[in-house]
Amino acid sequence: MTDSAAPVSDLDLFDDEVLVDPYPSYAALRELGAVVRLPANDAYALTRYDVIRDALADWETFSSAGAIGFNPMVNEALTGTSLSSDPPAHTRLRAALTANLSPRALRGLKATIEAKADALVEELVAKGSFEAIDALARALPLEIVADLIGFTGHVRDNMLRWGQAAMQVLGPMNQRTAESFPIAGELYAWCSAVTAGDLTPGSVGRGIFEAEARGEIPPDTAGHIIHQYLGAGVDTTIASIGNIVALFARHPDQLALVRENPALVPAAFNETLRFWPPINAWGRRATRDVEIDGVLIPKGAKVAVLLGAGNRDPRHYPDPDAFLVERNPIDHLSFGYGPHGCAGQGLARLEAHAVITSLSRRVERLVVGPEVRVPSNVTRSIEELPVLEVFPA
């Protein structure tokens, strides 16, 4: 064997400054190697596109079981979910999760989502100035997911903080994680107690309970599935819609390209996801000694899959730090890849494509103030984005 020790960096992936702007740090890690040991996080980081994609496809070597979060408490709590299991158990859980979430299940929703997005954008353009995160990036997915699952009353009011906390607790046991656990616990408790009668008749959420009653999914999984819809699908979609507005404002030439050629709408979303992934780092565990690029990752090691570093790898994407919608990076890593590829990506595409379509039809240019960012363990998103002026189309 010619395995050598992995290069080492003193970077802490969950340092406040790194969380707010991880890309310079990722560039330095990529230069050190495709695999870099991070003692601060007790993990081996995968930094380059090819090794990340290969690792995501290889679930036998890079296990999700008890491994996706960066603290033992959250990994324990996620035991038995599709996120945190490997085939064959994963295959069954995933099928139950996606039965109502796959593109074929969501086809009927396209027109409704487009109408909601367009009505919202139309109203905001008419106002001329607004805070884009609350008024658009949060408003749209919260309404769509609430209606989809059939939430009513106080649950709707809690969706944002529950969704944020569910992502935050995946980090290491720092102050953010400690403060978020009680809130994530509220979500978990609610999902453990929810019954079909709590959800609007005809909703997807009600359908999940009906599938459970018919024996199509295992007993007691309906609550888990609702938990994943809320935990994984709210905060991330909010991040990407906020990013769309910010990136179009920063790059009016790129907005102009989409305006001229609406066929670029999916490409613009792919590039937004590549450029600023809602999730930059995700966990796995090595199930065996594995050699990558001549470096050994020992059996049992924690692995940090740096999706955001792979997305900026110049070995795969020329000029990776430029935001260019025409590159259409359909193979970006932001939804993960393979058996654990984002289960909600079909819904995310429906929402984001609707927003991009409407913005590009109705807006020629946006003038924004400085974006406010707050360090967050897992979801990288904009906290506030003041739109000061809209030049309507």
Residue 98 or 174 with smaller CB distance to other proteins: 98
CB-CB neighbours of 347 under 10 Å: 25
Q: Does 346 bind other proteins (CB under 8 A)?
A: yes
* Shortest separation between residue 90's beta carbon and other proteins, angstroms: 11
Name which position in 146, 285, 337, 381 contacts other proteins (CB under 8 A).
337
Report, in Å, the least distance between residue 310 CB and other proteins: 15
* Structural contact between residues 372 and 162, judged by C-beta atoms closer than 8 angstroms: no
CB of 92 to other proteins, least distance (A): 10
The CA-atom distances, in angstroms, between 275 and each of 42, 85, 243 are 27, 29, 9
| Contact residue for other proteins among 330, 367, 372, 393 (CB under 8 A) | 330
Q: Looking at 67-75, 102-110, 115-123, 380-388, which segment touches other proteins (CB under 8 A)?
A: 102-110
Residue 262 found at the interface with other proteins (CB under 8 A): no
The reply to whether 335 sits near other proteins by the rule CB under 8 A is yes
Residue matched to tokens 């994407």 = 317
Place of tokens 């944002």: 160
Q: Are 109 and 349 in contact (CB under 8 A)?
A: no
278-317 positions binding other proteins, by CB under 8 A: none
Instruction: Pick the closest to residue 348 from 134, 124, 127, 106 (CA basis).
Output: 106
* Comparison of 4 and 91: residue with beta carbon closer to other proteins: 91
3-class state of residue 203 by DSSP: coil
Q: How far is the CB of 327 from other proteins (least distance, A)?
A: 14
| Residue 216 binds other proteins, judged by CB under 8 A | no
Residue from 175, 168, 170 nearest 71 by CA: 170
Which is nearest to 167 in space by CA: 86, 239, 244? Answer: 239
Q: Does 57 bind other proteins (CB under 8 A)?
A: yes
Nearer to other proteins, 138 or 316 (CB): 316
108-122 as b/e: b if 16+ CB within 10 A: ebeeebbebbbebbe
Tell me the site size for other proteins, rule CB under 8 A: 19
With binding defined as CB under 8 A, does residue 326 bind other proteins? no
- Give the tokens for residue 262: 């609406």
252 neighbors 363 (Cβ within 8 angstroms): no
State the amino acid at position 338 in one-letter form. G
Please spell the DSSP secondary structure of 126-168, one letter per residue.
HH--EEHIIIIIIHHHHHHHHHHHT--THHHHHHHHHHHHHHH
Q: Does residue 348 bind other proteins (CB under 8 A)?
A: no
| Burial (CB count <10 Å: 0-12, 13-18, 19+), residue 39 | exposed
- Binding piece for other proteins, criterion CB under 8 A, among 218-226, 319-327, 330-338, 374-382: 330-338
Give the interface segment with other proteins, choosing from 12-20, 60-68, 94-102, 217-225 (CB under 8 A).
94-102
Q: Tell me the Cα Rg of the chain.
A: 21
Q: Which of 93, 125, 225, 342 binds other proteins (CB under 8 A)?
A: 342
Sole window of 9-17, 165-173, 273-281, 334-342 interacting with other proteins (rule: CB under 8 A): 334-342
Nearest to 310 by CA among 292, 333, 287: 333
State in angstroms the smallest separation of the CB of 217 from other proteins.
15
Contacting range for other proteins; rule: CB under 8 A; set: 156-164, 254-262, 310-318, 333-341:
333-341
CB 290 within 8 A of CB 296: yes
| Cβ distance to other proteins smaller for residue 99 or 139 | 99
- Out of 4, 91, 192, 261, which residue is the one contacting other proteins (CB under 8 A)? 91
Of 169 and 333, which CB lies nearer to other proteins in the complex structure? Answer: 333
Residues 6+ positions from 251 with CB-CB distance below 8 Å = 323
Considering only residues 98, 129, 158, 200, which one is a binding residue for other proteins as defined by CB under 8 A? 98
Of residues 23, 28, 86, 102, which one binds other proteins by CB under 8 A? 102
Instruction: Considering only the stretches 123-131, 148-156, 210-218, 328-336, report the one whose residues sit in contact with other proteins under the rule CB under 8 A.
Output: 328-336
